[in-house]
């Protein structure tokens, strides 16, 4: 594929994800598979798409003095964002080539007027350079523009966690994500998997938060011979969720929100494929992903069913489960590095609605927990309303419920001194391990 086509694919992806909120990682992978890209082109495509999405608000700030209030079609906006992204952040392509390709694309997609306009804007930026953030006086607005997070989000985080933590988080959200995989331990050990990955040319290291986790520092691990049957892609902090379930063999476990099955399969592995994992999710299509993942990893103790887990009391009696995982639907503000489009599509009312659903789910599944059972509640977001305040609320609503104190003792040593520890559980920030931000806690009945 020529570079020109590669940039056309990038533009198409940006329009798709940027405007319609598609899952960037899935769409990029599909485009990579569909267009037979060289390794170098794959890297460039991924970098242009993620980079432009991650820095959209910064790119708008850079473009504003050159575009003014001129109304532009969406595709022209994205073409300008991705061109300026390459000019400012990527060294390997010379500016004149970037401008030339943008002009060619706009000629193909628009009329002469557009290509002349695109040419003029980009040449002006090349000549005059882009503005400095220090011209923005308000610190919240500066952080918002500099790290490309909506101002309401920065303001909310500053209120909840303070400026310094928020600044660290916002800066960490715009760097490339570390890739981690989980080894299927019933098939091979972590050391064996690391040896094989190294022999295939990957640079790897142990992930500290799970004995099954491996960091992959270079190379596309989807091409490894171990994928997908012996290793699965999962973030290190996501692995910590099932690690904290205090699982034993032969337990009866409920995974109330299980798709696509990362944690359900981890639970099954940790129980050595014994006992029962009942995995639910809303729609049959999503539940199939869990079933497929279990089959791929050769795990037989997972039963999948589409169901609204807010109504699980219709199908299960009280005090049925030894362990419950409620990995709740959430705003996803802990995973902005891999899904940068989320930050432009979410708003405060989404957080409020989600926190209501989370509370309904907790009310539905808590009675299903055995008297000596435990429930792990987790989200991949950073927001008190979905995390600490949610737990505070449910503890008040169920006076016989408490946070299991042994949860804190069982945390890996790397987590023992994190700022995100509170009486309600652990908030992991994206900057803590350069991994996804997660909230995890464990509840039990007082007895």
Ligand X SMILES: C[S@@+](CC[C@H](N)C(=O)[O-])C[C@H]1O[C@@H](n2cnc3c(N)ncnc32)[C@H](O)[C@@H]1O
Q: Which stretch binds ligand X (CB under 6 A): 208-216, 254-262, 343-351, 367-375?
A: 254-262
Helices (H), 189-261: 190-199, 236-243
The answer to whether 224 is annotated as binding is no
User: In this complex, which beta carbon is closest to ligand X, that of residue 194 or of residue 256?
Assistant: 256
Per-residue contact flags (x/-) with ligand X for residues 329 to 368, judged by CB under 6 A = x---------------------------------------
Let me know: does 222 contact 185? Beta carbons within 8 Å: no
* Least distance CB 277 / ligand X (angstroms): 11
Q: Of 19, 308, 350, 414, which lies in the binding site for ligand X, with binding defined by CB under 6 A? A: 308
The answer to whether 246 is annotated as binding is no
Q: Of 327, 404, 432, 436, which lies in the binding site for ligand X, with binding defined by CB under 6 A? A: 327
Cβ-proximal residues to 67 (8 Å cutoff; 6+ apart), any chain = 80, 121
d(CA 215, CA 378): 22
The residue of the chain with the least Cβ separation from ligand X equals 257
Per-residue contact flags (x/-) with ligand X for residues 264 to 303, judged by CB under 6 A = ----------------xxx---x-----------------
* Least distance CB 87 / ligand X (angstroms): 37
Q: Of 18, 213, 262, 425, which lies in the binding site for ligand X, with binding defined by CB under 6 A? A: 262
Question: Is 154 strand, coil or helix?
Answer: helix
Within 86-145, the residues that bind ligand X by CB under 6 A are none
The answer to whether 327 is annotated as binding is yes
235 bridge partner residues: none
Strands (E) across 243-298 are located at 252-255, 276-281
Cα of 247 vs its chain's centroid, Å? 25
Sign, CA dihedral 219-225-231-232, equals: positive
User: In this complex, which beta carbon is closest to ligand X, that of residue 118 or of residue 257?
Assistant: 257
Q: At what angle do helices 95-109 and 112-128 cross, to 10 degrees?
A: 160
User: In this complex, which beta carbon is closest to ligand X, that of residue 219 or of residue 260?
Assistant: 260
Q: Of 220, 260, 359, 363, which lies in the binding site for ligand X, with binding defined by CB under 6 A? A: 260
- Strand 213-216 to strand 204-206: parallel, antiparallel, or no bridges (unpaired)? antiparallel
d(CA 203, CA 270): 26
The answer to whether 21 is annotated as binding is no
Cβ-proximal residues to 292 (8 Å cutoff; 6+ apart), any chain = 261
Let me know: does 14 contact 31? Beta carbons within 8 Å: no
The answer to whether 263 is annotated as binding is yes
* Least distance CB 315 / ligand X (angstroms): 12
SS3 content of the chain, % helix, strand, coil (to 5): 50, 15, 35
User: In this complex, which beta carbon is closest to ligand X, that of residue 171 or of residue 288?
Assistant: 288
Q: Of 109, 123, 252, 310, which lies in the binding site for ligand X, with binding defined by CB under 6 A? A: 310
The answer to whether 259 is annotated as binding is yes
Q: Of 257, 268, 271, 336, which lies in the binding site for ligand X, with binding defined by CB under 6 A? A: 257
Name the catalytic one among 170, 330, 380, 415. Answer: 380
Q: Which stretch binds ligand X (CB under 6 A): 215-223, 253-261, 384-392, 414-422?
A: 253-261
Q: Which stretch binds ligand X (CB under 6 A): 120-128, 158-166, 184-192, 305-313?
A: 305-313
User: In this complex, which beta carbon is closest to ligand X, that of residue 142 or of residue 310?
Assistant: 310
Query: Would you state the structure tokens that stand for residue 331, as one six-digit string?
Result: 């705003």
User: In this complex, which beta carbon is closest to ligand X, that of residue 55 or of residue 374?
Assistant: 374
| Helices first, then strands: H and E counts in the chain | 19, 13
The answer to whether 260 is annotated as binding is yes
Q: What angle do CA 361, 362, 365 make, to 5 degrees?
A: 85
Count of CA atoms in the C-beta half-sphere (13 A) of 97: 10
Q: Of 18, 51, 261, 340, which lies in the binding site for ligand X, with binding defined by CB under 6 A? A: 261
The answer to whether 372 is annotated as binding is no
Sign, CA dihedral 78-84-88-91, equals: positive
401 bridge partner residues: 445
76 interacts with ligand X by CB under 6 A: no
User: In this complex, which beta carbon is closest to ligand X, that of residue 49 or of residue 181?
Assistant: 181
d(CA 238, CA 207): 12
d(CA 395, CA 197): 45
User: In this complex, which beta carbon is closest to ligand X, that of residue 327 or of residue 341?
Assistant: 327
Q: Of 309, 355, 387, 441, which lies in the binding site for ligand X, with binding defined by CB under 6 A? A: 309
Within 184-223, the residues that bind ligand X by CB under 6 A are none
The answer to whether 150 is annotated as binding is no
Let me know: does 371 contact 440? Beta carbons within 8 Å: no
How crowded is residue 257: how many other Cβ atoms within 10 Å of its Cβ? Answer: 23
Has 380 been annotated as catalytic?
yes
Binding stretches for ligand X (CB under 6 A) = 257-263, 280-282, 286, 308-310, 327, 329
Query: Which residues are tagged catalytic?
Result: 380
Annotated binding site for S-adenosyl-L-methionine: 257-263, 281, 308, 327
């Amino acid at each position: 594929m020529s570079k020109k086509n590669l940039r056309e694919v990038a533009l198409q992806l940006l329009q798709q994800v940027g405007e319609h909120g598609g899952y960037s990682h899935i769409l990029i992978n599909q485009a990579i598979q569909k267009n037979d890209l060289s390794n170098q082109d794959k890297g460039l495509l991924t970098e242009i798409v993620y980079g432009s999405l991650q820095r959209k608000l910064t790119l708008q700030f850079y473009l504003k003095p050159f575009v003014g209030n001129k109304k532009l079609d969406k595709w022209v906006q994205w073409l300008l964002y991705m061109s300026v992204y390459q000019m400012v952040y990527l060294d390997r392509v010379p500016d004149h080539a970037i401008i030339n390709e943008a002009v060619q694309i706009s000629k193909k997609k628009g009329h002469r007027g557009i290509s002349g306009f695109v040419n003029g804007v980009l040449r002006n930026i090349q000549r005059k350079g882009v503005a400095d953030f220090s011209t923005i006086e308000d610190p919240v607005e500066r952080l918002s523009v500099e790290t490309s997070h909506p101002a309401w989000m920065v303001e909310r985080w500053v209120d909840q966690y303070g400026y310094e933590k928020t600044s660290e988080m916002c800066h960490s959200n715009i760097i490339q994500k570390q890739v981690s995989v989980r080894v299927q331990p019933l098939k091979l050990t972590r050391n064996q998997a690391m040896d094989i990955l190294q022999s295939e040319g990957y640079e790897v290291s142990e992930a500290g938060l799970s004995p099954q986790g491996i960091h992959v520092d270079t190379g596309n691990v989807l091409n490894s011979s171990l994928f997908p049957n012996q290793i699965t892609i999962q973030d290190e902090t996501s692995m910590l969720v099932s690690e904290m379930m205090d699982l034993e063999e032969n337990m009866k476990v409920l995974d109330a929100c299980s798709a696509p099955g990362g944690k359900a399969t981890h639970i099954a592995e940790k129980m050595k494929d014994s006992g029962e994992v009942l995995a639910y999710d809303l729609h049959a299509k999503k539940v199939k992903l869990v079933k497929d993942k279990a089959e791929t990893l050769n795990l037989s103790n997972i039963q999948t069913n589409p169901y609204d887990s807010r109504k699980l009391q219709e199908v299960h009696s009280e005090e049925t489960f030894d362990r419950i995982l409620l990995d709740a639907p959430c705003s996803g503000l802990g995973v902005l590095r891999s899904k940068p489009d989320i930050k432009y599509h979410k708003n405060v009312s989404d957080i409020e609605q989600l926190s209501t659903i989370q509370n309904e789910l907790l009310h539905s599944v808590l009675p299903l927990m055995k008297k000596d059972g435990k429930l792990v509640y987790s989200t991949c977001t950073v927001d008190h309303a979905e995390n600490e305040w949610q737990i505070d609320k449910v503890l008040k609503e169920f006076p016989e419920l408490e946070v299991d104190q042994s949860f804190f003792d069982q945390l890996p040593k790397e987590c023992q001194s994190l700022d995100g520890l509170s009486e309600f559980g652990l908030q992991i920030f994206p900057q803590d391990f350069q991994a996804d931000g997660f909230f995890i806690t464990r509840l039990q009945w007082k007895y």
